[in-house]
Structure 1
């Protein structure tokens, strides 16, 4: 099998350098939760839409073709992970991405998919 080492050889210095420079386990766990949330097609469609423009729950439900209840449930998950935020205007809740990092994350993912041609 060509895709694995054929002999056991650990470069302890490299391993130590990478371990010291790498993110903390708690940080990786938080990132994994973010990717898990974005792994749901409905939530990903919501985030991609919000990367373009602030939208209310009704707009999002129409756009992603699911119920307002399903959109609200997805938004709750995204809000808990600080991927989206909202503001109230009267009785309407407008959602937007929490910060530019979220938009860049989705843009990078889309760019990767375009590049590898999936």
Structure 2
């Protein structure tokens, strides 16, 4: 069983730990978190649509998307001159959701995500 866990990176001495830290570092930016939130509710979006959703300039968003693409958090599809972005998989979206849930705990009381009548997102 420990061999399975080690191959998945769950041991403290796993080589995946450093890679996980790099993922957290990539997500340690409010604009990138907002980009992931915008993309989690869409099949794919253009740079201009993402920029509008996160209230940032297309040039700035494009730079963040390039970093997220290098980290394999987002993927692209080109249609003519336009590039569309989508999340590579559901993991970054889950990390961001869990971080937001953790942030809700810091406010005290019962976090919104613990309410039974909470609308799924």
Report deviation, 1:38. Answer: 0.9
Matched, 1:37 2:47: no
Corresponding residue SS for 1:117:
coil
* Number of the residue aligned with 2:92: 102
Render the CA deviation track for 1:22-58: whole Å, top value 9, x for unaligned: 252x422211111111111111110111111121101
* Number of the residue aligned with 1:11: none
If the length of structure 1 is used for normalisation, what is the TM-score? 0.74
* Number of the residue aligned with 2:67: 77
Q: Rg larger in 1 or in 2?
A: 1
If the length of structure 2 is used for normalisation, what is the TM-score? 0.73
* Number of the residue aligned with 2:118: none
How large is the Cα RMSD of the aligned pairs?
1.8
Which runs of at least 4 in structure 1 moved beyond 3 Å after TM superposition? none
Structure 1, unpaired ranges of 5+: 1-19
Corresponding residue SS for 1:82:
coil
Size of the aligned set, in residue pairs, is 98
